[in-house]
Chains A and B, each alone.
Chain A
Amino acid sequence: MAKIKSLAELQKKRDELQAVAAKTKNEKVIVNVSLATCGIASGGKEVMEAMKQEAAALGINNVEFTMSGCMTYCFAEPTVEITLPGKEPVVFGYIKGDKAKELVSKYIKSGELVDGVIPASYERIVF
């Protein structure tokens, strides 16, 4: 990996990465599964796998799967954040059993909301 040699280079790198992210966000469905220790323990990895399989079965191929750390909703693990192209991210909790497949077949496929939406009750610092 090329080393970053100055603050300017770092800023350039950030701008490039942000441009790529913005493009992805417009074109693809982004599925972000919370995979901290707790998320993994409550079945987060299985959720991700089930969603991947369901997307493949339904022939949906514009989905990008990513993972993140704790989404802070311990009460609703496993949790999945889905960002449809051009839309605001929505966090779904309590994704157990067939619920993972339902997320794909309903929300991702046709934008139909399913139970377990967790409203964002925070303001987040970005810079």
Chain B
Amino acid sequence: MVDKNQLRIATRNTGFIDPESVESYIAVGGYQALGKCLAEMKPADVIDLMKNSGLRGRGGAGFPTGVKWGFAAKYASDTKYVVCNADEGDPGAFMDRAVLEGDPHNVLEAMAIGGYAIGGNKGTIYIRAEYPLAIARLKLAIQQAKDMGLLGDNIMGTDFSFDIELKYGAGAFVCGEETALIASMEGNRGEPYTKPPFPAEAGYWDKPTIVNNVETLANIPAIIMKGADWFSGIGTETSKGTKVFCICGKINNVGLIEVPMGTSLKTVIYDVGGGIPDGKEFKAVQTGGPSGGALTYKDLDAPIDYENLVARQSMMGSGGMIVMDEDDCMVAVAKFFLDFTMDETCGKCTPCRIGSKRIYEILDKITIGQGTEADLEKLRSLSHNIKDTALCGLGQTMPNPVLSTMRVFEDEYRAHVIDKKCPAGVCADLLEFTVVEEKCVGCTLCARVCPVNCISGKPKEVHVIDQAACIKCGACLDKCKFDAIIKQ
């Protein structure tokens, strides 16, 4: 008997239906929710239902979807837009791609429902150009739905019309931020601007616009069909429904999962994820991508929901979960994420443009053994001030990987700056490869494989590594058959 830890709502059809066949979608109840809205519900009823369901944005920030729709419905305008944010950019995250490639009609249906609710009839999917298959399947799906009268003019014989077009993003991470996304859709440089006005009031071409993430939308037809009470019965007090995660890194079952909100990290890692490979010790998991933070063994029992993650200096984010084991150095991990955000910051505001570079530089200094205790203090204060002053969500969350790893792994940081050691054995400049005299048989393999010839010793005698010349490539360690070389 397998535990049914997962509950699939947003991904209910991916892997089960043929994404290139509208019949396949109709057979599993597709477009019924849209039909129900148009035939039996007023727009205000749809918004109330969404509010009551407690659905919150799955892109990361967790804003209540029904409330967002309610704002956009309030503003009178001849044109309103429904934008689907499919600019999935977190490293190691592919929830949106999975849904778009596996169940494209689900998203189209939800967008039309959103259009009906706010009184708009134009939809745009902002999708990254790096997802060619998702684009092809979406284009096909739009055409099929139009041919069947499920999109386009007078949907299902009613006077509601809704059309959807695609806009391609050029792969900028910041364009997942809704104001930057809108700027990019309008053909401008993808940069965020100060809110208010929120897009619900003045968004795409200054018209009321709702921007919803793919996963958020993927939940909506199910909520319409099964009701707000059903949905709000799943999850925790503040976070309803399920969340799709991509678990990757040091985990046995790398893949896509969908679990009810409130599931513990332990269940996700050990039951659903199948634990850590090679019997290694679980160390941390990065949630929320580069904007999130590291959860650790201390957080294993914490129920995963929006508030609990924020309380632990991480965030829900769009659903990337990168699992790390004892062999991962947390300073190097923080440096990896800062390297990413440093490249991806749009460069508009000072704290993010220069601050990300400076945080990266300090982390780099620490990993090569040139950090000082003062640097740790600088990191902390710089991170807090960047969070406090940056313009958009990217900058405000960019220091999270640093703060969250410093919170739990301060010892590891201190080992780098004080002892000049990397406890996980990752930071090459802090490592020392040495020969264990008792184990060395003098086979000469290590000396022969060394690319810089820094290992000396006669055959059948103990070899010695010249530390000054060693470039710490690890070739000798890999080659030695007698475990006679250790790195520390």
Contacts and interface: CB of A to CB of B under 8 A. Distances in A.
A5 interface: yes
A57 interface: no
A37 to B, nearest CB: 5
A120 B36 CA distance: 31
Contacts of A21: 27
B218 to A, nearest CB: 11
A1 to B, nearest CB: 4
Contacts of B252: 75
A127 B430 CA distance: 58
Interface stretch (B148-156, B311-319, B355-363): B148-156
Contacts of B36: 7
Closest 4 CB pairs of A and B: A69-B102, A3-B149, A122-B6, A71-B15
Interface in A13-59: 13-14, 17-18, 21, 32, 34, 36-38, 40
A68 B14 contact: yes
B460 interface: no
B46 interface: no
B156 A66 contact: no
Given A5-B149, A11-B32, A123-B4, A69 B101 contact: yes
Interface of B: 2-9, 11-12, 14-20, 23, 26-32, 35-36, 38-39, 94, 97-99, 101-103, 131, 133-134, 144, 147-150, 156-157, 222, 225-226, 248, 252-258, 271-272
A40 B156 contact: no
A31 B164 CA distance: 33
Contacts of B97: 36-37, 70
A110 interface: no
A21 B16 CA distance: 13
Interface string A92-127: 000000000000000000000000000111111111
Given A6-B35, A14-B27, A68-B17, 18 more contacts: A3-B148, A7-B32, A10-B31, A11-B35, A14-B29, A14-B32, A34-B15, A37-B131, A70-B97, A70-B101, A72-B14, A74-B248, A74-B256, A119-B2, A121-B3, A123-B6, A125-B226, A127-B225
B23 A17 contact: yes
Contact of B157 (A6, A68, A81): A6
Contacts of B18: 66-68
Interface of A: 1-7, 9-11, 13-14, 17-18, 21, 32, 34, 36-38, 40, 66-75, 81, 119-127
Contact of B9 (A9, A70, A73, A125): A125
Nearest to B16: A68
Given A4-B148, A40-B133, A70-B101, A13 B7 contact: no
Contacts of A66: 18
Nearest to B251: A75
Contacts of A37: 97, 101, 131, 133-134
A126 B12 contact: yes
Given A5-B157, A7-B36, A10-B35, A69 B98 contact: yes
A42 to B, nearest CB: 12
Contacts of B144: 1
A104 B156 CA distance: 43
Contacts of A75: 252-255
Contacts of B98: 36, 69-70, 72
Contact of B226 (A2, A3, A81, A127): A127
Contact of A120 (B2, B14, B248): B2
A36 B102 contact: yes
